[in-house]
Amino acid sequence: MEKSVLDYVLVPAGLLVMLAYHAWLLHRVVKYPNETVIGVNAINRRFWVQAMMEDSPKNGVLAVQTLRNNIMASTLLASTAIMLTSLIGLLMTGGNGDRFAFFVFGDKSPRSFSVKFFAILVCFLIAFLFNVQSVRYYSHGSILVNVPYKKMSPHHRHHQVTADYVAATVNRGSYFWSLGLRAFYFSLPLFLWMFGPVPMFVSCLVLVAMLYSLDVTFDFGWAVVPHHEDDDDVRGGNRDEESG
């Protein structure tokens, strides 16, 4: 009974740590995008889309190849997720949870193993759905990025076919890809939960520390801002005043 209590304490605590970190990360991405890798990449993707669409005939092949690589990465993760989902479903129906009972320090009841298998199954299903959505948006973006909207006549130009709209589409594909990857990250603590709540809780702490080093830009002095020639003139004028 004492061992099973650990599942009711450490497992919710580990999940709470993971959820609290991602809630904090979402706040940073929305409020301070220049201090997160996700925000910086989203800003740079907008610049990339604008550069590709400014000279669409010249950069069309490069843009399509780049988005195709992203589609292949999302397809790989989606295929892996659905394969692991099938494997977990097979283990659930085969009743193989008893084979892990010898290594488990915690609740060893058949019901607990069913809950653990189901949690991993849902995690991989979510990863599959996110990566499918990523493929969807990347596919749309590969077509929209080659639309010569500047050469369209005013009568046929749609107000949404702009570089901002295409960049938003590409960014949505990247966001879904990141969410699908996060679902894979979440599957690690859930898998270690098979061996007890202690490995699961420790893995949550290690994973949050690792994700923090990957999600936060430590070069705080650098900011992603558009470059204007007027700024150079102002800086040059200030330097002349200081030297005078």
* Contact predicate 220/35, CB 8 Å: yes
What are the domain boundaries of the chain?
2-243
pLDDT per position as a tens digit, 105-119? 656 677 777 888 889
* Contact predicate 24/208, CB 8 Å: no
Share of the chain above pLDDT 90, in %: 45
* Contact predicate 49/138, CB 8 Å: no
Q: What is the pLDDT of residue 112?
A: 76
Mean pLDDT of 186-194: 89
Q: Which of 135, 128, 129, 103 is nearest to 116 (CA)?
A: 103
Q: How far apart are CA 124 and CA 142, in angstroms?
A: 27
CA triplet 160, 227, 241: central angle to 5 degrees?
145
pLDDT per position as a tens digit, 213-226? 999 987 644 444 44
Partners of 36 in beta bridges: 216
Residue 180: exposure state from Cβ atoms within 10 A (0-12, 13-18, ≥19): buried
| pLDDT of residue 243 exceeding 60 | no
Buried b (16+ CB within 10 A) or exposed e, 100-128: eeeebebbbeeebbeebbebbbbbbbbbb
Task: Please give the residue that has the higher pLDDT: either 21 or 222.
Answer: 21
Mean pLDDT of 18-46: 93
Task: Please give the residue that has the higher pLDDT: either 77 or 97.
Answer: 77
Mean pLDDT of 76-103: 73
Which helix or strand (DSSP H or E) is residue 97 part of? none
* Contact predicate 201/13, CB 8 Å: yes
Highest mean pLDDT among 38-52, 57-71, 91-105: 38-52
Would you list the DSSP string of 43-77?
A: HHHHHHHHHHHHTHHHHHHHHHHHHHHHHHHHHHH
193, two tokens: 């939960």
